[in-house]
Each structure stands twice: as C-alpha cells, then as structure tokens.
Amino acid sequence: MNPFYRCVLVVTVLVLAGFATLRTQHTSAALANDASLPFDNPQNSVVGGFDFSNLDRSANACQDFNQFANGGWMAKNPIHGAYSVWGRFTQLDEQNINVLHDILDGLLKKKTPAPGNEQKIADFYGSCMDEQKIEAEGLKPLEPELQRISQVSDLLSLEDELANLHAHGIPAVFGFGASQDFKDSTQIIAQLVQGGLGLPDRDYYTSDDAKSKATRDEYVKHVARTFQLMGDAPDKAAAEASTVMKIETKLAENSSTRIQRRNPEANYHPMTKIMLLEMTPDFDWGRYFRNIGMPQIAKVNVGQPDFFKAADKILKDTPIDDWKVYLRWHVVNAASNTLSSKFVEESFNFNGKYLQGTTEMLPRWKRCVASTDRALGEALGQLYVAKTFTPQAKERARAMVANLIAALKDDLTTLSWMSDETRKKAIAKLEAYNRKIGYPDKWRDYEALQIRRGAYYNNFVSAGEFEFKRNLGKIGKPVDKTEWGMSPPTVNAYYNPQFNEIVFPAGILQPPFYDPKADDAINYGGIGAVIGHEMTHGFDDSGARFDANGNLVMWWTPDDYKKFTERTNCVVQQFDSFEVEPGLHQKGQLVVGESVADLGGLTVAYAAYQKSLQGKPRPKIINGFTPEQRFFLGWAQVWAQNIRPEAARLRNATDPHPLAKFRVNGPLSNMPQFAAAYACKAGDLMVRPPEKRCQIW
C-alpha cells in the first residue's frame, strides 16, 4: 500500500500467527429520520443504534467522555486470550471473518470448485488447513531457498540473492517496488525504501530505555531459538542471533524515523541509474534490475538516500558468512507461520506474547482465512460482496458521502483563516475526490497466480511472487485509478493523496459504523465522522501537500500554509500531553495526521447532521439523550476498546493512529458543540480553554 495512504484506525489482526498487524475502519449511508423511536424508556437497552447498557453512568461525561460512553462496554468485554486488543473494530472484523470462513468451508466441500478463482481460493485455503502435511514436511519447503543462500560466496552473489528474496516478498536489507511519481501522478516509477529489520521499528534498536534493551535481549533469544529449530547447535545459534542483531542494528541506526517518513518531500529523491551507481558504487543496480526482470528501469525514487549510502558500505564491509546468517534468518522469519507448529509457536511466543501480551494463538482456521484474504483478496472479496453487500447499501453509502462532501465544501467556503486564492484550490481538490464504495468496479485478474493443493509455503511464496510481479508490471504504464488498496471484507477505509480518492470497503459499512435501523444522530457520529475523517485527510499535514491531481506541489499561499501549520501544531502539542502509561506519552508528530482528520471529520459530520435536520421536526429525546448528545455517543462507541499494556506500547511506537481513548476525548475536548450538548463548563477536563482549543475546519 502507498506509504502516504491515510486511514481511520488501525486494529490488529495478523491472524496468521495470532498476533496483530494494523488495520483500519469506517461506515456510511443515507439516513432516514424515524420519529417512532422509543424514548425515555429505561427498559430499552438497545435503542436507535446505541446500546445504553454500554454507558458507565458513574462517570462524568464532562471529565472523561470515553469512560462515560464506553465504560459499561469495556467492563463487559474483556480482551480475548488470542488478541492484544478487543474493541468494536475487532468485533466487526470477527463477524466478517466468520462470513469468509463459511465461504471458504463451502468451497472446500465442493467436489469440483469452478476453475479459476474458486479453485485457487479453495486450494490455497486447503493447503493452509492441511496441518498433517505441514507437520510432516517441517522445514523441508524452505530447503531450496536455504540451499541458494548457502551458495552465496561474494558480494555479487549476495546481491543476486537479495533480488531473489525481494521477488518472493521478503524485503531483506531494503524494499523495492512501484509507486506513482510524487510530482507527476500520471506516471508509475520504481521506488527504493529502507528495510531489513526484524523488530517492529528502528527505534527498538536505537532507544536506550530499559524496556527497549530488554526487548532486544528477548529478540536475540527468539532468533537463537529459531536457529535451533532449524537444526543448529545452541552455541552456534546464539552466535548467529548475535550476528543478526549486529547487522540489523547497523541498518536501523541509518534508517529514518516514522515521523520523518511521514513527510513526502523528505522521501522524494528521483534518480537515474547513473545517479544510483554514484550514490552506491558497490551495488550493481543493473544486475539487480535484470535479476528482478526489469532491466529497462531508467528512473527510481529513492525514499531515504542516507540509508542506501550506509547500506552500500554495510553490504561491502560485512563478511559474506555473516550475511548468509542474516538471510537465513529473514527467510525463516517470513515463513515461520507457514511451517510446522514448532516454528509457528516460536514466532507467536515473541511477536504475540512478548510484544503484544496475547496469551494464546488464534485457531488455525482464522489464521488461514486471513492468509487467504491477503493472497486472493479481490477474488475472495467478490464472493463476500455477493453474500453481504447489496446495491441498496452501496447507494446509501454514496448518498452519505455526497452529503459529507457538501458539508466540507460549505465549511471551506466560509473558513475565516483561509484566503480566497487557497480556498478555490481547496474546493477544487475536494470536488475532484474519486469516491469508491464497497468494492472495485474492475476486479483484479489472478490468472497468472499459480496455486496448487500442495505445500502451504509454496503457495505463500507463489502469492508473494505474483504480487511483486503485478506491482512491478505497472512501471512505465498509465496509472490505473480503478485499483483498490484494500480487499472488500476489510474493516477499514482510507484516503490516497496521489489518486485523490476516498475509499470505503464493504467490510466497514456495517454496525456500529453504519446501521440502517439506527437513529440519524448515531449514524452521523459513526460513519458520518469516519467519512469526514477520510475526506479531511486530503487536508491533513501530509495530504495537504498534494493537489487535486495527486501531485506533490505547494498549492497553498505561504501565509495560509503558515496558519494551517500553526493549527496542526496545536494538535501535536495536545497529543504530546496524553500519557499512554506513566512517563510514556503519545507522539504528537506521529499521530498528527490522524488526529487532525478526527477533529475535522467530527466537525464536518456534526455540521452535516445539523443541516440534515433543516425543515424537519426536532428529533425526540431517546433514553434521556438529545440528538446532539447521541451524535457524540455515535462517535464514542466506534472506539470502545480494551488494550493490553504491551500492545499500547507497541502502537505508541509504530502506529500513526492515537490510542482509542484519546481519539474520543482528544477531538471532543476541542469542540464547543460537545460542551454545549453535555452542558460542560469551563474547568472541566473535556473543555479546553479558548486559547488552548485547536480548530482547523
């Protein structure tokens, strides 16, 4: 996925190993006012799309709205053993996984699945579920790759093996792929980015705090245990693990931070082959491009030049035998979850238990469902959509998106701090948004993907090769703006600045984000704010640097951009003050894009809701809550969540999305509309003084 995609959330469900990988979510639809909804009736728990038993009425809404709105839910929903987080996103993801499970089981039971996608889906899922075969083969599926590594003898053969691993989807040392040219969005060019680490982020290698040091120690032990599972003696395995850590630490020390990688200008360095060779004189790029089947590449964007300058020296100066150890590790690390149970368990014990606090692995079928979705997402997505997403649902979503875009346009039209010159370009960008709802208009072609009912690892590698070739095949061709970056069942949504598009997969267009039976206020606070969130990503600290055509260009006047930056800096400072745990704060510069989008999305959705009431009877009070109060309950319930301390620390280090409780309280504390709805007063924690209030839209 494009590194500058902007999403609503990140919920983790790396189902293959029972530990997490970040995902995002939202919902939408047109709303119908229902004056017949019951109100002021304590006997009704679920009314108008909100379960009032989820409230914690002992909490003060003006002091901690997240606890007030979600405290009851959190008390009733402890984290399941196989998860590091349990929240409303997780629940909806579970619901979708169950639907996919039914589809996949049905295909397995078919005597003769239809040739093509159905057969490939059944064979891939079937190979993943064949535990007996996987256990019997042990490490055997990796033997051809390990044999290739054993034959590496010099720098050139090392470079050859790096190209081979990259073709399998393993970004050892660095990553290579295709991307739109930041400053010419009509062109697809090659892109090089830093990589090669086994821990979640470069800061895990460079930070000196006690927890980071302990994590590095545990990682080395994990690597050593894995080498022992491969048959190495304990002393040799310990030495090999030390070698891996030494190489990865050197790469990490020369890597950009996540905050630095959020700046598109800082990651745009187009180069010719000659410039590449001058930058890294010891790496034969011509040979590398031939090895990956792209000898004609003439232009490459180098995301982090300083990393590649350092990597060139590290490649040359590190002994070849050490590199062979490093490569063996990255091959088995990438493959662990496709191998026998001892490898799966070792991977889970570190990545799941230690890093995220989970206590048990997900059942195999859930891991295999997720793996099949990753490998054949749009093929499986077609079957999912046919079963779950009606044309009527798609039209309701389109209507809601159009409504929210109109509300943001109204806001831009009257925004006091923006000049007319910038305003015209901002409105033009908004009106140019491509809106994708539910599923692609053109489905991906999987004909070239080779899947067989054989070793699961082989299908895993085949899927990686297919995706690598599909991605590189775009270079030099016209940009295909019909492409999607997520599969239809995904509980997520995103904004892509280079396509200038907002995308809402079918998987998120469901309760609690959008419920066709719910009160309008709840839906506007839920899916409405999610839609608004993605829309305002086009004007967050990163998205604002791309114009209506998806080009990285400064379209703001200098004075307007200065005012905009001052306003986003206000958000940075607020989130810097939020404590994840004593002494550990959110990183405002990391989460500013998502936090700006939350605040903007809520502001726009609230305005759209108020506009929808014009000319209609005033909605009734429901269970004691006014429509304005229910709007904010709709937002809060989306973020109901329990999270393990380990997972909170991991997300704080790596995730550009704030923790859920801060996504509730943070933006609402800046909104006078919230304070008015709940009669909060100056001095309450949910009411920021005017001079400290952040306001952008």
Tell me the CATH number at 176: 1.10.1380.10
Phi, psi of 461 (to 5 degrees): -65, -40
Segment (H or E) for 206: helix 203-206
Determine the average pLDDT of the residues in 18-42: 29
Q: Tens of pLDDT along 626-645?
A: 999 999 999 999 999 999 99
Name residues whose C-beta falls within 8 Å of residue 536's C-beta, 6 or more positions apart in sequence: 408, 596, 597, 600, 601, 604, 697
Which residue range(s) make up the domain with 317?
A: 152-338
Active site residues: 534, 598
Specify the pTM.
Answer: 0.92
Distance CA 486, CA 22 (A): 13
Residue 99 CA: distances (Å) to CA of 92, 103, 160, 234, 573: 11, 6, 43, 45, 42
Please indicate whether residue 690 or residue 25 has the higher confidence score (pLDDT).
690
Contacts of 144 (CB under 8 A, 6+ apart): none
Residue 205: is its pLDDT beyond 60?
yes
Q: Is 217 exposed, middle or buried (0-12, 13-18, 19+ CB in 10 A)?
A: exposed
pLDDT grade for 16, boundaries at 50, 70 and 90: very low
Is 567 inside a domain boundary? yes
**Least-confidence region, from 4-18, 108-122, 574-588, 601-615:** 4-18
Read off the pLDDT of residues 306-323 as tens digits, 9 standing for 90 and up: 999 999 999 999 999 999
Q: Is the pLDDT of residue 30 over 90?
A: no
How confident is residue 454, by pLDDT bands cut at 50, 70 and 90? confident
Q: Are 440 and 588 found together in one domain?
A: yes
430 and 494 part of one domain: yes
Assigned domain for 98 exists: no
Mean pLDDT over residues 143-158, rounded? 98
Q: Is the pLDDT of residue 621 over 80?
A: yes
Q: Which residues pair with 643 in a beta bridge?
A: 85
How far is 432 from 496, CA to CA, in rounded Å?
Answer: 13
Among 294, 313, 338, give the residue marking a domain's end: 338
The pLDDT of residue 8 is 64
pLDDT (0 to 100) of residue 4 = 63
Domain termination residue (choose one: 274, 304, 338): 338
- Give the domain CATH number at 61: 3.40.390.10
Please identify, among 316, 338, 360, the residue that sits at the C-terminal boundary of a domain: 338
What percentage of the chain carries pLDDT values higher than 90?
A: 89
pLDDT of the residue at 23: 29
| pLDDT number for residue 45 | 79
Q: What is the DSSP letter of 526?
A: I
Q: For the segment 464-510, what is each residue's pLDDT rounded down to a tens digit?
A: 999 999 999 999 888 999 999 999 999 999 999 999 999 999 999 99
Same domain membership, residue 417 and residue 310: no
The rounded distance, in Å, linking the Cα atoms of 474 and 58 is 57
If phi > 0 it is left, if psi is from -120 to 50 it is alpha, else beta; for residue 255 that is: beta
- Residue 334 and residue 400 in one domain: no
Q: What is the pLDDT of residue 3?
A: 57
Q: Quick check: 30 and 396 in contact, CB under 8 A? A: yes
Counting the structural domains of the chain, the total is 2
In a domain, 646, yes or no: yes
The number of CA neighbours under 13 Å toward the Cβ of 612 is 27
The mean of the pLDDT values for the chain is 92
Give the per-residue pLDDT at 426.
95
